[in-house]
A and B are shown apart, each in its own frame.
Chain A
């Protein structure tokens, strides 16, 4: 059952991604990217990573689609047809893809209990988290307590992103103030 779901989801993801590239109407492309995010959220649910699925559905399909449409409202709806086809970008993409596929040959099989990721710190968290932290959701205890420094760093990154956007795009209030002074 899971294999069938995975095959269907991944096939749809490939089709939607190709459609997003082929379509010349940028509005339709943005919608395709939204559908792609919903499909990958479904994949995360199949993989039992519900936290990631939440994030993907809310950010990927929701907010970033709205931001993209907002950007389209400022620019243009249709992509310009390329004047000439160049081979170099295609080669770069193909070679990068081939290298990535080659790299997966070294990766452990999905769900392999002897994979390095399951043998490093994971056993300690799984064994000690119920006694040390005492909350049922181990993801939260790793994120907020064992890896509290990392999460503080992530929050600071989001803070910095917000400040950066505010400085670059949100300057209209200062501009108004300057106009009033002149």
Chain B
């Protein structure tokens, strides 16, 4: 689709907006609808659109497979690490009350970090799966 002007122009408009909306859903998840999972798939959809319009190789330059594969593990580590931090601070595993000076702030902080972990893993896994599927035809 590299030579078709209309999809290219539309995608140029839309990709930043999709990314921005993904970030909004991620960090506004405790006030409005949304959260890590939704934000992750929306974020990944922007990269998929980029790869569809500009080609897989260009997309792999933006989201380097090695980095994306590291992010797959990083998200789970952030989530599980939050639990370990709350253990070290004297609470139970994934007990956010002890993360900050008072329980409500601790809960806010814990939910924000944990949702970030979910979002990172989901986005990275979706991009990885797409790269694996789309790259299959090229390599063989």
- Contact: A67 with B107, CB < 8 Å? no
Q: Would A156 and B76 be within 8 Å (CB), given that A55-B41, A62-B48 are in contact?
A: yes
* A158 to B73 Cα, complex, angstroms: 10
B121 to chain A, nearest CB (A): 5
Query: Is B133 part of the contact surface with A, judged by Cβ < 8 Å?
Result: yes
| Interchain Cβ contacts within 8 Å, total number | 146
Query: Is A23 part of the contact surface with B, judged by Cβ < 8 Å?
Result: no
Query: Is B118 part of the contact surface with A, judged by Cβ < 8 Å?
Result: yes
Instruction: Digitize A42-66: 1 where CB-to-B-CB distance is under 8 Å, 0 elsewhere.
Output: 0000000011001100110011001
Q: Which of A105-151 contact B (CB under 8 A)?
A: 132-137, 139-141, 143-145, 148-149, 151
Q: Would A170 and B131 be within 8 Å (CB), given that A152-B79, A158-B125 are in contact?
A: yes
Beta-carbon nearest neighbor of B113 in chain A: A144
- Contact: B111 with A59, CB < 8 Å? no
- Contact: A166 with B128, CB < 8 Å? yes
* A71 to B134 Cα, complex, angstroms: 8
Inside 8 A of B115's CB, which chain A residues have their CB? 140, 144
Beta-carbon nearest neighbor of A67 in chain B: B133
Query: Is A103 part of the contact surface with B, judged by Cβ < 8 Å?
Result: no
* A132 to B114 Cα, complex, angstroms: 17
A80 to chain B, nearest CB (A): 21
Query: Is A99 part of the contact surface with B, judged by Cβ < 8 Å?
Result: no
Instruction: Digitize A168-181: 1 where CB-to-B-CB distance is under 8 Å, 0 elsewhere.
Output: 11101001100000
* A166 to B69 Cα, complex, angstroms: 9
Query: Is A76 part of the contact surface with B, judged by Cβ < 8 Å?
Result: no
* A68 to B111 Cα, complex, angstroms: 34
Chain A interface, number of residues (Cβ within 8 angstroms) = 46
- Contact: B75 with A63, CB < 8 Å? no
Inside 8 A of B75's CB, which chain A residues have their CB? 155, 159
Inside 8 A of A154's CB, which chain B residues have their CB? 37, 118
Chain B interface, number of residues (Cβ within 8 angstroms) = 54
Instruction: Digitize B18-43: 1 where CB-to-A-CB distance is under 8 Å, 0 elsewhere.
Output: 00000001000111111111100110
* A78 to B111 Cα, complex, angstroms: 47
Chain B positions near chain A (C-beta within 8 angstroms): 25, 29-38, 41-42, 44-45, 48, 52, 69, 72-73, 75-76, 79-80, 83, 94, 96, 103-104, 107-108, 110-111, 114-115, 117-118, 121-122, 124-126, 128-137, 139-140
Q: Would A132 and B135 be within 8 Å (CB), given that A58-B41, A152-B83, A163-B72 are in contact?
A: no
Partner of B134, one of A70, A137, A140, A143: A70
- Contact: B76 with A54, CB < 8 Å? no
* A169 to B140 Cα, complex, angstroms: 12
The 26 listed contacts between A and B (C-beta, < 8 Å) are A54-B34, A55-B41, A66-B130, A70-B133, A70-B134, A71-B133, A74-B137, A133-B104, A133-B107, A134-B104, A135-B111, A137-B30, A141-B111, A151-B79, A151-B114, A152-B83, A155-B79, A159-B72, A161-B129, A165-B133, A166-B128, A166-B132, A170-B131, A170-B135, A172-B135, A172-B139
